[in-house]
């Protein structure tokens, strides 16, 4: 059985800039991830900034299913989510607190794919990721998120 964990971390400095892979990032409640577009209030939807834009997660299994079911290969960074996980059902975390390493998060809502994501990637991505586009979460405790961190759901 796979240990639920973070397998990649991505941030982008500005709204449509390419996501950059990093090994770790500081998570700050009420702000987001240091260096990310929403932390800097430069994200596409930053005017709607709320706790649900602090950090986004997606299951690598959803990206693998997109390839298998729709023949669309989407590299994890191109999914435009901050944390890529393996072994955790993110849809089940809406309304729940959970930990990633030493950081406590609360799942706020599903992160359904949008037209903006499809424009930045390719046709079919939106349809292929419906109901498996990830999770929007609020940061409840400050700390450093690292690739390899365990995802723990009480």
Enclosing domain of residue 109: 5-152
Which pLDDT value is given to residue 41? 80
In angstroms, the Cα distances linking 70 to 60, 66, 73, 81 are 15, 5, 9, 20
CATH number at residue 30: 2.40.33.20
Distance CA 113, CA 56 (A): 12
Q: Burial of 22 by CB count in 10 Å (0-12 exposed, 13-18 middle, 19+ buried)?
A: middle
Which pLDDT value is given to residue 42? 72
Which pLDDT value is given to residue 46? 45
- Neighbouring residues of 123: CB distance < 8 A, sequence distance ≥ 6: none
Q: In what order do the strands lie in the sheet with 24-28?
A: 32-33, 24-28, 143-146
Distance CA 60, CA 30 (A): 26
Q: Which residues pair with 103 in a beta bridge?
A: 100
- Short-list 60, 63, 5, 53, CA closest to 32: 53
Which pLDDT value is given to residue 57? 97
Low-confidence ranges of the chain (pLDDT < 50): 46-47
Q: For the chain, what is the domain count?
A: 1
Q: Are 32 and 12 in contact (CB under 8 A)?
A: no
């Amino acid at each position: 059985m796979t240990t639920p964990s973070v397998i990649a971390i991505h941030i982008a400095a500005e709204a449509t800039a390419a996501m950059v892979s990093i090994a770790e990032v500081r998570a700050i409640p009420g702000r987001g991830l240091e260096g990310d577009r929403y932390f800097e209030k430069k994200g596409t939807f930053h005017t709607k900034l709320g706790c649900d834009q602090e950090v986004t997660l997606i299951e690598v299994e959803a990206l693998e299913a997109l390839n298998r079911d729709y023949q669309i290969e989407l590299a994890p960074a191109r999914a435009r989510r901050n944390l890529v996980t393996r072994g955790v059902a993110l849809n089940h975390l809406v309304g729940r607190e959970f930990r990633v390493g030493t950081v406590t998060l609360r799942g706020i809502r599903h992160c359904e794919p949008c037209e903006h994501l499809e424009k930045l990637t390719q046709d079919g991505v939106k349809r292929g990721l419906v109901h498996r586009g990830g999770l929007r979460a609020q940061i409840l405790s400050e700390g450093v998120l690292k690739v390899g961190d365990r995802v723990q759901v009480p």
